[in-house]
Structure 1
Amino acid sequence: MSSAAPTQNVSNVSHAHALPSYLKADDLGPWGIYLQQVDRVTPYLGSLARWVETLKRPKRALIVDVPIELDNGTIAHYEGYRVQHNLSRGPGKGGVRFHQDVTLSEVMALSAWMSVKNAAVNVPYGGAKGGIRVDPRTLSHGELERLTRRYTSEINIIIGPNKDIPAPDVNTNAQVMAWMMDTYSMNSGSTATGVVTGKPISLGGSLGRHEATGRGVFVVGSEAARNLGMDVKGARVAVQGFGNVGAVAAKLFHEAGAKVVAVQDHRTTLFNPAGLDVPAMMEYASHSGTIDGFQAEVLKGDQFWDVECDILIPAALEGQITAENAPRITAKLVIEGANGPTTPQADDILRERNILVCPDVIANAGGVTVSYFEWVQDFSSFFWTEEEINDRLVRIMQEAFRAIWQVAQDNKVTLRTAAFIVACTRILQAREMRGLYP
C-alpha cells in the first residue's frame, strides 16, 4: 500500500481547535496521546488530510446512568459509557470494560484506537468502546448480572449486529457477553447472536477466540523477527503479563523454540536464563491465578526491565514502558501485546536506540480479527473448525503486517506511524467516498 510523501511539518499541525467542548485542553488523558498520533501522520495523508478532523472527535459519545438494586436492598448508581469513534468503514466494534477508574477520555481514546486497529488489519468495522465505572470485585454474581443487563438496556439504542458490536475487555468475559446478548435479544424480540462477540461457544461463540490475541502477537512478532534477520528458535523472550495474551504468546514462542527467560505478572517476576517451563507455568497459573510460587529465580519487580533478552512482549497494562525504563531495555524487538504499553516519550527513546516496536494496533489485533470471524459465522449460521480459523487469522495478520512494513520502509517512519498511515488512509478514503449527508 502506497502513501503520500509528507506535505507539511508535523509541528505545524494543531489539534487545539478540534477538541470537543466537554474536554479540557489541559486534561486530555489518553485522548491527548491519540491526537498526537494523528497529528504525526497527517502530513502523510495527502489530499485526504482535509478530512482529518473526522478522526479528531468521536462520532457519538453516550454517557448513561446505570442504577441497580444491590443485594442489601439499596439502590446504587454507576456511570457508563459507549463511544463510537468512526463508522465510515462499517459498524462499531470494541470491548466493554468494568473498572473503577474508567473515564470518558479513556473510552474515547480506546474507541479511536479500535478504528485504527480495525482498519490496519482491514476488517470492515469502525471503532467503538464502552465501560462502566465500577470495581466488579465489590459486586456479587447477581449484582454483576443486573449491572450488565441494565447497562445493555441503556446503550441498546446505539448497539446492534449492524450498528455496534461489543466484546469482552478488562474485567468482562464470555458470561458478561451472554448477558448482554440475552438482554438485547429480549428487548428486540428475537435472538441476536451477532450483537456481541466473545460469547460462549454454546451461544454462537467462535473456536480459537481465547487464544486469538496471543496468537496474533506471535504471528506479527515472528514476521518482524524475520525482517530483522532474527531466528525465533533460540531467541530469548521476556513477557510482562501472564494473562490471556501473555501466556498464549509465551506458549507459542516456546513451541517455536524460543527461550522464555522472564515472565512478570501482578504478583511476581520469574527468571531462568535457560528458559522457563512455559506449559508447566501455565498449568500452575490456571490453578493459583498467579505464577507466584512457581519454581524459578525470583527478581524484584523493576529488575524485569534489565533482563537480557532479544524479544520483549509487554502484555499487561498501558504505560508500562516509560522514559525511565526504556533506556534499560536490551531487546531488539518489542511486540505490544497490551493496549498502549509504551508512552510517547519511551517510543522516541526506543526509536533512537534502533529497537523495533510492533505497535499494539497491529500486534494485538488477533482478538478483533477472530471476533470478526465470529460475527461472520453468526450471520451465516455456519461455523468453521479451529484450524480454519487459525489459518485465516495467520493470513490476515501476515498481510496486514507486510503492508505496514512496506509503508514504514517507503516513508522511513516507525511501524506505529506506518500503521496509522495505513489505517487513517483507509478510514478517510471510505469517508470521502461516502461523502457528507445531508
Structure 2
Amino acid sequence: MTLTHNPGDGRGPFGTGFRTGPGTGTVPQTDPYTRSDPFNRPPEHEVAWTDPVTGTRGWLVVHTLVGGLATGGTRMRAGCTRDEVADLARCMATKTAAFGLPVGGAKAGLSLDPRSPGALGVLERFFADLRPWLERSWVTAEDLGVAQSDLDAVFARLGLDQSFHAAMLRSPNPATTLDRVRAGLAVQDGDGLPLGDVIGGYGVAQACLAVAASLGLDPAETTVAIQGIGTMGGGAAWYLHEAGVRVTAIADAAGTLFRPRGLDIPALLAARDHFGEIDRATVPADVEILPRDAVLAAPVDILVPAAVSYSLREESVADVAARVVVEAANSPTTPAAEERLAVRGIPVVPDFVANAGAAAWAWWLLQGQVGTDPQDSFGRLRTEMQGKVAFMMDAWQADRIIPRRSAWGFAAANLTALADREITIP
C-alpha cells in the first residue's frame, strides 16, 4: 500500500472581490469566459492498494479535506484506473463545495468486475486496510458496481457502525447521532422507495425540470433520453415520469429502448435486474430496440448520461440531437466533447451540480437539517437544485457562459468560506 501526500500551498482558489450570486453565496469577479477550474490541482492524499489474494488494484484519492473530513463513494469496475479515481475525487470536492457542504471530496475505486466471484471479499479487504481513513477522515457510500447494502454488510463485519462512521465520531453523542441517521435512512418516499436510494435521481429530475423551465417548456412538452438506468438514471426516470415528462429513450448495457410517445417507465424499472438491465421479454412490441449508443442521438430536449464516465466523447458530439445535456453520471462528458457541444449551442449542466442530491442530502441528514419527513428533504433539494440550474442557464442564455464555468464560480466561493470552519455533527 502506497501513500502520497500533496500538502498544497493552503491558499484559496480566488482572491478578494466577489459579487453576490442568487442563493449560491458569492461568485468571483473573474472573467467568466476564461475562468479555469479552481479544483484542478493535485489531491492532498493518495493511497494505492493491491489485494494480496487476487492482485486486484485499488485506490483511495482524497482531493480535499475540509475540517479533516472528506466524502466520496467507492466504485468497482473492470478497468478502473488511478486517474479515473482522481478525476472523480476532484469532481466530488467540487460537488460538496457547490452545495456549501462542510466536507471535502474523495473517491475510491477497485479495478474488478463486480460480478466476479469473491468481489465482496476484495471490497472487505480493501476497507480493512483503509480502516484508519474510514475511522477518522473518509465517509463513503455506494457508487458504480457497489450497492449501499454491500457496503453496510462489509462495514458490519468490520465492526464499524456504517459508512458515515468518521463523521458521526464528531458528534458529542455518536450513538444518538447514529440512531437519528438510521431513522433518516429508513425513510421511504410516497411510492414506498427508500429515500436514500432515490434522492440522487430526484435531484437529477429537478435539474431537468429547471432546464425545461429555462427553455420555456412545460413538463408535458419536454422529452428526455437517459443513458443508464441504475440508481441515478432509474431514479431520474421515475421522478421525471411522475412530473409528466415524456422519457422517450433509455439505455442499459444491452441496448436502447425508444418510443416517441414515451416509455412506460414504472414497468421497465420493475423489470430491471440487480445490475440495472431490463428483461427484454417484458418490453412491449411497439418499443424499438436499438444499439446501446443510439440513446446519444435520440431526438429529445434533454439528454441525461447516467451510465459510466467518459461515455459522451468528441466523436459522438455530431450525433447529439438534444438541446441540453444534464450530467447524472460522474464525468460522463469529456472536456473536448463539452467544448464542441458548446460550439453547437448545446450547454452541459455539470455532474457536480446535477447529481449532487444524494451527497447533499446525506450531509443535511448528518447535521440534523432534515429528518424523517421526506417532503422536507425533497423540498430543500428541489429549491437548491432548481436555483443553481436556473442561475447557470440564465448565464448561458444571456452571455453564452458555459454552465460549468458559472458553477465553478459559486463552488470556489463556498469552499473559501468553509476553509476555517470547524465541522460539528449534532
| TM-score class, shorter | 0.7 to 0.9
Look up the match of 2:170: none
C-alpha contact 1:184 1:192 (8 A) present in aligned 2: no
Q: How does 1:214-253 map to 2 (within 5 A)?
A: 214-253=201-240
Helix, strand or coil at the partner of 1:167: coil
Determine the C-alpha separation between the residues in 2 that align with 1:111 and 1:421: 19
| TM-score of the pair, normalised by structure 1 | 0.76
Give the direction of change, closer, same or farther, for the CA distance of 1:247–1:175 in structure 2 (3 Å limit).
closer
Helix, strand or coil at the partner of 2:109: strand
Look up the match of 2:360: 369
Which one-letter code corresponds to 1:388 in the other structure? D
Which one-letter code corresponds to 2:86 in the other structure? M
Look up the match of 1:95: 73
Determine the C-alpha separation between the residues in 1 that align with 2:32 and 2:244: 46
Alpha-carbon displacement from aligned partner over 1:355-389 (angstroms, at most 9, x marks no partner): 23211111111121222244335xx9x95132332
Q: How does 1:155-174 map to 2 (within 5 A)?
A: 155-160=130-135, 163-174=137-148
2:36 is the alignment partner of 1:41: yes
2:37 is the alignment partner of 1:63: no
Determine the C-alpha separation between the residues in 1 that align with 2:421 and 2:40: 16
C-alpha contact 1:268 1:291 (8 A) present in aligned 2: no
Look up the match of 2:7: none
Alpha-carbon displacement from aligned partner over 1:149-193 (angstroms, at most 9, x marks no partner): 322221112223x6220111111112322134335545xxxx466
Look up the match of 2:315: 324
Q: How does 1:138-157 map to 2 (within 5 A)?
A: 138-139=116-117, 143-157=118-132
Q: How does 1:63-142 map to 2 (within 5 A)?
A: 63-67=48-52, 75-88=53-66, 91-139=69-117
Deviation at 1:408, TM superposition (A): 5.8
**RMSD over aligned Cα, in angstroms?**
3.1
Question: Which of these residues, 256, 262, 277, is aligned with residue 264 of structure 2?
Answer: 277
Give the direction of change, closer, same or farther, for the CA distance of 1:327–1:193 in structure 2 (3 Å limit).
closer
Question: Which of these residues, 326, 336, 348, is aligned with residue 335 of structure 1?
Answer: 326
Determine the C-alpha separation between the residues in 2 that align with 1:218 and 1:9: 28
Unaligned ranges ≥5, structure 1? 11-39, 43-51, 68-74
Number of aligned residue pairs: give it.
376
Unaligned ranges ≥5, structure 2? 1-20, 168-177, 188-194
| TM-score of the pair, normalised by structure 2 | 0.78
C-alpha contact 1:268 1:292 (8 A) present in aligned 2: no
Q: How does 1:161-310 map to 2 (within 5 A)?
A: 163-183=137-157, 185=159, 191=161, 194-195=164-165, 205-207=185-187, 208-286=195-273, 289-293=277-281, 294-295=283-284, 296-310=287-301
Give the direction of change, closer, same or farther, for the CA distance of 1:350–1:427 in structure 2 (3 Å limit).
same
Q: How does 1:396-407 map to 2 (within 5 A)?
A: 396-402=384-390, 404-405=392-393
Deviation at 1:114, TM superposition (A): 0.2
2:405 is the alignment partner of 1:427: no
Deviation at 1:148, TM superposition (A): 2.7
Determine the C-alpha separation between the residues in 1 that align with 2:340 and 2:89: 27
Which one-letter code corresponds to 2:138 in the other structure? D
Look up the match of 2:10: none
Higher helix share: 1
Which one-letter code corresponds to 1:3 in the other structure? V
Relative contact order: is structure 1 or structure 2 higher (C-alpha 8 Å, sep ≥ 6)? 2
Determine the C-alpha separation between the residues in 2 that align with 1:410 and 1:163: 42
2:393 is the alignment partner of 1:393: no
Deviation at 1:95, TM superposition (A): 0.4
Deviation at 1:130, TM superposition (A): 0.9
Deviation at 1:61, TM superposition (A): 0.6
Determine the C-alpha separation between the residues in 1 that align with 2:33 and 2:264: 49
Identity within the alignment, %: 27
Look up the match of 2:405: 417
Helix, strand or coil at the partner of 1:233: helix
Deviation at 1:334, TM superposition (A): 1.4
Deviation at 1:330, TM superposition (A): 1.9
C-alpha contact 2:152 2:162 (8 A) present in aligned 1: no
Determine the C-alpha separation between the residues in 2 that align with 1:196 and 1:252: 32
Which one-letter code corresponds to 1:170 in the other structure? L
Determine the C-alpha separation between the residues in 2 that align with 1:265 and 1:8: 37
Greater mean deviation of Cα atoms: 165-174 or 80-89: 80-89
Give the direction of change, closer, same or farther, for the CA distance of 1:194–1:88 in structure 2 (3 Å limit).
closer
C-alpha contact 1:241 1:316 (8 A) present in aligned 2: yes
C-alpha contact 1:238 1:311 (8 A) present in aligned 2: yes
Helix, strand or coil at the partner of 1:41: coil
2:350 is the alignment partner of 1:359: yes
Look up the match of 1:14: none
Give the direction of change, closer, same or farther, for the CA distance of 1:83–1:91 in structure 2 (3 Å limit).
same
